[in-house]
């Protein structure tokens, strides 16, 4: 039975319009009080990341104070023109930008900062999935209709249908109600979308998981919005406090957690923040604010009996990065995992449907056991041939990122289903690099149907003799939106130039020499067992040739988890690392989130890193190149960016 839908009002946006232009002077003029037209503001900034909307240090706040800080990291030309408080003081109600707005991190702090600053609508050519979903969960409107600009300028009231047109019934109701908790309340009171029957159809593996998680095996179809039961709902200290705040405000503090054994919390992002935070930020209390996030999370876990993978008691460090631990200890094929981080997609390597959500979504899931999703279309990635020695999964990911289909935003919100001859021989850790970096590709998640390698991984890491059920694969004839075919035998080591993971270039295409100050191996993408093996292989060769880390370079290796650290110790890697001059760091996200050793502290510094994204300011003010673990290690020895093959050639082998 369903109750009436929410009423459909018309909305007025009484305030100014802020155009995020590529020209910093255009931003200056608007912040100074001048109102400009769209034509005057062109070209607009594209690929605005959540790192730019709310830089990492801004996310130490998790309440209305965020309204002082939207767009502080926005790079326009050669500078960041937006200052604290300027957007709120400017009376802006609408923000306008180009394509792929809100890419990158799943941090809900970004749309929440916009909302708290007074912004009520964001207009862009296209939006990243998690950002737009976070907006809808909060009640911040989004649109791709640039025709609204003049209508708003003329003072016209805009019907709510302008923002629900083309959406499925559940999403439209979410927008009308003005947020996820309001929709959940309506569901408790009896509202439900009209039941729909779907004719039998061939389904992809991801669609089958969704159908089962909905509570049956009735087929689902792309574009359908629904709630599914989540086996795992996890959060980390960067987001848990905001989620707790959202939940307490929505419920008045009167709530009960659903299936608390499926809820996990992690301390991973800010473990080493005190090492990298500049003194001027510490002086204004940002370190205290950062460390308070951990305390809030710990109190929440203690109060409600939630399992917390926290900080180490006997030494500095954490138990590990959330995604690494989830893959090593918890997630199984066919399950649904939702986490407060865009790289939750990591666990798709085990054949799970794993995806990132924001603070409101995870808070709602704590009390309902469910998460909302729109059944995504599938982009099939067919990895043909065999990888050449020295070419790794990171190189495949960086190659995919520079394909036109991904760079132009066609893959936004899709499932990347990996398959093919080259995939079949990749270890699960390497597969996790491919699924992890779907976050950079703009996809909903990445997934690998379970196979004998999956069974080997579960048997070796957890002692589980897992049985692959017949349904755990895509049906013959299942529809896909697009297929990316890659001849892996032709791939070579890849890089991404500073500024964006999609700015890929092969090492052989790099004509200039790039001296480096910092090499960093770590993060959820680059801190797994196989990643450490790749680093070790390079360094073992180096010390065997009487080489060590270049005198002008600092090489930091950070483990993804204690399990990885213990494995490296057992395998004898520590001795080689020590002889080569590597700095070993206990587990944590570290430099990947601008919070630990490996962060640059000057604009003239150059870093080569195994992390997953290199948006402006992501890991300090310097220039950050992305590369595979072996390329990072080889570059550390050479003192400039080189592949392992190039390193060997340099020294006569």
- Residue tagged 């070993």 (tokens): 584
CB of 399 closer than 8 Å to CB of 494: yes
Strand order in the sheet with 554-558: 504-506, 494-496, 623-627, 606-609, 518-521, 554-558, 583-585
- In the predicted model, what is the mean pLDDT of residues 80-98? 97
CA distance 180 to 340: 16
My answer on whether 168 and 272 are in the same domain is: no
Q: What are the structure tokens assigned to 347, written together? A: 């666990």
For residue 646, pLDDT over 50 is answered with yes
Q: Is residue 393 part of a domain?
A: yes
Q: Which of 491, 525, 560 is the last residue of a domain?
A: 491
My answer on whether 218 and 180 are in the same domain is: no
The string of DSSP letters for 341-361 reads SGGGGGGGGGT-EEEE--HHH
Task: Name the residue range of residue 502's domain.
Answer: 494-650
Confidence (pLDDT) at 2? 42
The CATH number linked to 401 is 3.30.499.10
Neighbouring-strand partners of residue 585: 558
CA distance 140 to 149: 16
Give the tens place of pLDDT for each residue, 379-428.
999 999 999 999 999 999 999 999 999 999 899 999 999 999 999 999 99
Give the tens place of pLDDT for each residue, 338-349.
999 999 999 999
For residue 515, pLDDT over 90 is answered with yes
CA distance 333 to 453: 12
Name the pLDDT band for 281 (thresholds 50, 70, 90): confident
My answer on whether 273 and 233 are in the same domain is: yes
- In the predicted model, what is the mean pLDDT of residues 48-69? 92
CA distance 210 to 493: 36
Q: Which of 158, 187, 216 is the last residue of a domain?
A: 187
My answer on whether 440 and 294 are in the same domain is: yes
Q: Is residue 195 part of a domain?
A: no
My answer on whether 282 and 368 are in the same domain is: yes
Confidence (pLDDT) at 5? 60
Q: Is residue 35 part of a domain?
A: yes
For residue 451, pLDDT over 80 is answered with yes
Q: Is residue 583 part of a domain?
A: yes
- In the predicted model, what is the mean pLDDT of residues 630-649? 97
Confidence (pLDDT) at 42? 97
Neighbouring-strand partners of residue 485: 382
CA distance 465 to 451: 12
For residue 175, pLDDT over 80 is answered with yes
For residue 248, pLDDT over 50 is answered with yes
Confidence (pLDDT) at 67? 96
Interacting residues of 225 by C-beta distance below 8 A, sequence separation 6+:
167, 168, 169, 170, 171, 372, 373, 374, 375
Confidence (pLDDT) at 6? 62
Give the tens place of pLDDT for each residue, 582-629.
999 999 998 998 889 999 999 999 999 999 999 888 899 999 999 999
The CATH number linked to 18 is 3.20.19.10
Q: Is residue 4 part of a domain?
A: no
CA distance 100 to 131: 10
Confidence (pLDDT) at 16? 97
Characterise 218 by phi-psi region: left (phi > 0), alpha (psi -120 to 50), beta (else). beta
My answer on whether 312 and 216 are in the same domain is: yes
My answer on whether 177 and 313 are in the same domain is: no
CA distance 646 to 653: 10
Buried b vs exposed e over 25-43: b needs ≥16 C-beta within 10 Å? ebbbbbbeeeeeebeebee
My answer on whether 409 and 275 are in the same domain is: yes
Number of domains the chain contains: 3
For residue 139, pLDDT over 60 is answered with yes
For residue 7, pLDDT over 70 is answered with no
Q: Is residue 410 part of a domain?
A: yes
For residue 645, pLDDT over 90 is answered with yes
My answer on whether 181 and 207 are in the same domain is: no
- In the predicted model, what is the mean pLDDT of residues 264-290? 90
HEC-encoded secondary structure of 406-430: HHCCCCCCCEEEEECHHHHCCCHHH
My answer on whether 543 and 607 are in the same domain is: yes
My answer on whether 420 and 498 are in the same domain is: no
CA distance 563 to 318: 11
- In the predicted model, what is the mean pLDDT of residues 447-461? 98
Q: What are the structure tokens assigned to 427, written together? A: 């270890």
Q: Is residue 197 part of a domain?
A: no
CA distance 302 to 287: 23
Interacting residues of 642 by C-beta distance below 8 A, sequence separation 6+:
507, 631, 634, 635, 650
Identify whether 43 is preceded by a cis peptide bond (ω within 30 of 0): yes
Q: Is residue 5 part of a domain?
A: no
Any alpha helices (H) in 165-318, and if so which ranges?
A: 169-177, 180-188, 205-213, 240-251, 273-276, 279-283, 286-304
Q: Which of 139, 159, 187 is the last residue of a domain?
A: 187
My answer on whether 404 and 527 are in the same domain is: no
């Amino acid at each position: 039975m369903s109750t009436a839908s929410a009423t459909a009002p018309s909305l007025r946006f009484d305030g100014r319009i802020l155009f995020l232009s590529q020209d910093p002077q255009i931003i200056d003029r608007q912040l100074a009080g001048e109102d400009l037209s769209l034509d005057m503001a062109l070209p607009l900034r594209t690929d605005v990341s959540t790192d730019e909307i709310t830089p990492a240090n801004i996310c130490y706040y998790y309440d209305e104070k965020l309204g002082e800080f939207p767009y502080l990291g926005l790079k326009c030309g050669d500078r960041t023109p937006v200052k604290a408080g300027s957007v709120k003081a400017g009376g802006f109600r609408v923000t306008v930008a180009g394509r792929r707005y809100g890419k990158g991190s799943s941090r809900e702090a970004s749309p929440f900062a916009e909302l708290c600053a007074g912004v009520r609508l964001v207009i862009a050519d296209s939006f990243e999935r998690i950002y737009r979903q976070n907006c809808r969960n909060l009640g911040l409107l989004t649109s791709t209709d640039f025709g609204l600009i003049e209508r708003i300028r003329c003072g016209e009231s805009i019907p709510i249908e302008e923002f629900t047109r083309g959406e499925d019934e559940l999403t439209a109701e979410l927008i009308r109600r003005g947020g996820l908790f309001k929709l959940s309340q309506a569901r408790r009171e009896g509202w439900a979308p009209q039941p729909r029957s779907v004719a039998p159809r061939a389904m992809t593996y991801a669609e089958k998981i969704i159908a089962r998680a909905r509570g049956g095996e009735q087929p689902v179809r792309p574009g359908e919005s629904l709630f599914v039961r989540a086996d795992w709902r996890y959060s980390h200290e960067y987001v848990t406090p905001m989620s707790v705040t959202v939940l307490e405000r929505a419920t008045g503090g009167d709530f009960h957690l659903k299936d608390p054994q499926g809820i996990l919390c992690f301390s991973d992002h800010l473990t080493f923040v005190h090492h990298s935070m500049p003194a001027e930020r510490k002086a204004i209390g940002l370190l205290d604010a950062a460390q308070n996030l951990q305390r809030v999370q710990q109190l929440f876990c203690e109060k409600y009996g939630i399992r917390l993978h926290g900080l180490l008691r006997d030494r500095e460090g954490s138990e590990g990065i959330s995604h690494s631990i989830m893959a090593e200890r918890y997630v199984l094929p066919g399950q649904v995992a939702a986490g407060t981080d865009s790289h939750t997609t990591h666990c798709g390597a085990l054949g799970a449907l794993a995806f990132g959500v924001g603070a409101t979504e995870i808070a709602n899931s704590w009390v309902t056991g469910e998460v909302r999703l729109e059944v995504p279309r599938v982009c099939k990635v067919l990895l043909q041939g065999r990888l050449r020695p020295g070419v790794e999964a990171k190189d495949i990911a960086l190659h995919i990122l520079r394909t036109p289909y991904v760079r132009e935003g066609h893959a936004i919100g899709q499932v990347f289903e990996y398959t093919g001859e080259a995939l079949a021989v990749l270890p699960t850790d390497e597969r996790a690099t491919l699924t992890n970096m779907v976050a950079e590709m703009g996809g909903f998640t990445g997934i690998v149907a379970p196979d004998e390698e999956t069974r080997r991984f579960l048997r070796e890491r957890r002692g589980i003799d897992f049985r692959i059920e017949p349904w755990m694969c895509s049906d013959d004839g299942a529809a896909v939106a697009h297929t990316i075919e890659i001849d892996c035998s032709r791939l070579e080591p890849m890089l991404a130039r500073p500024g964006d993971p999609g700015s890929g270039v092969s090492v052989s295409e790099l004509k200039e020499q790039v001296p480096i100050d910092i090499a960093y191996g770590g993060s959820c993408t680059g801190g797994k067992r196989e990643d450490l093996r790749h680093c070790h292989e390079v360094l073992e060769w180096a010390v065997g040739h009487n080489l060590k880390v270049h005198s002008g370079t600092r090489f930091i290796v950070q483990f993804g988890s204690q399990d990885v650290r213990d494995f490296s110790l057992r395998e004898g890697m520590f001795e080689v690392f020590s002889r080569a001059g590597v700095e070993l760091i206990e587990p944590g996200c570290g430099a990947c989130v601008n919070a630990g050793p490996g962060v640059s502290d000057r604009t003239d510094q150059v870093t080569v890193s195994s992390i997953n994204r290199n948006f402006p300011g992501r890991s300090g003010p310097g220039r950050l190149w992305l590369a595979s673990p072996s390329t990072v290690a080889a570059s550390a020895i050479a003192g400039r960016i080189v592949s392992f093959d190039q390193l060997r050639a340099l020294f006569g082998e």
